[in-house]
Amino acid sequence: MSRAAKSTEHRSASAPRDIIGRGPSLADTLALRLKEEIVSGRLQPGEKLPTEQQISETYGVSRPTVREAIGRLKHDGLVVTRQGAGAFVADPSAVAVFRLEVTDFSNKEEIRNIIELLMAVEATATEHAATRRSEEDLKSIQAQLDAMEAAVERGEPGVEEDLAFHRSIVEATGNPFFRDLSDFLDRRVRNFIRTARANTARLGGMTQAVQAEHQAIFNAILRKDAPTARAAAETHLRNAAARLALYLEP
């Protein structure tokens, strides 16, 4: 087959690449396939992956595409490559990357699980914040509390201020993992609410109650009272989850 001819049938339906089907991108889908091979255990740790050439032929994609897919797996720590030797499935106990993907908002179960994790992380973070907060931290938290107060008085929902308030607390833990994870989960949940709200009747603020709960958390942090701070955070989160439950079981 001439080069030109092959080039023309790039996307033809009968081409061998239909094996991977359509989707986000060839590399994406190929990466998913290979990942499946690994997590399912069909490819054991330490085992050598097929060569790029072989994979290329098996799945009907070019070598650069294969490289891109393997690059992803390498990025995620699932495989390690050695120039000249090959690509090998990484030892699971040595994987240094954890990846959390939250994309499917229609999956209520997943949202519930995310909220549960958020509650665990943020309650403990608040507890640590109470014992460790510096004067700066305290000032920052109070500033966000006041900003929220102002928003409430202006009659605004103050979602941005709410987020900032929580952010300033987890920041005070001094533990970037708490900060980043909490931040991520928080954003995801809020994003879910926003999309859910678009399809539902809008139900009013409750901002007064929220603000009171915030105040309770702040007071405990102010007094460096860790158990009370934790309890206040748990109450707040439980209530927030209850308000949210309206979207989860229609």
Partner DNA sequence: ATAACCAAGTTGCCTGACAAGTAGAAAATT
Partner DNA sequence: AATTTTCTACTTGTCAGGCAACTTGGTTAT
Q: Write out the residues near DNA by the rule CB under 7 A.
A: 3, 6-8, 10-11, 17, 25-27, 49, 51-53, 60-65, 67, 70, 81-87
Residues across the chain: 250
Pick 99 or 154: Cβ nearer a second copy: 99
195's contact among a second copy, DNA, none, with CB below 5 to 8 A by partner kind, is none
180's contact among a second copy, DNA, none, with CB below 5 to 8 A by partner kind, is a second copy
Considering the complex, what minimum distance in angstroms separates the CB of residue 4 from DNA?
7
User: Looking at the DSSP assignment, which residues form a beta bridge with residue 88?
Assistant: 48, 80
Pick 6 or 187: Cβ nearer a second copy: 187
Q: Point out which span in 2-10, 12-20, 181-189, 235-243 binds a second copy (CB under 8 A).
A: 181-189
Let me know: does 250 contact 200? Beta carbons within 8 Å.
yes
Does the protein bind a second copy through residue 72 (CB under 8 A)? yes
**Distance (Å) of CA 179 to CA 45, 103, 125, 169:** 33, 21, 8, 9
CA angle 188, 209, 135 (to 5 degrees): 75
Residues 45 and 53: their CA atoms lie apart, in Å, by 21
Let me know: does 239 contact 123? Beta carbons within 8 Å.
no
Considering the complex, what minimum distance in angstroms separates the CB of residue 20 from DNA?
9
Residues 248 and 250: their CA atoms lie apart, in Å, by 6
Placement of tokens 């959390």 in the chain: 100
Contact residues: a second copy, CB under 8 A: 27-28, 31, 64, 67-68, 71-72, 75, 92-103, 113-114, 116-117, 119-121, 123-125, 128, 175-178, 180-181, 184-185, 187-188, 190-191
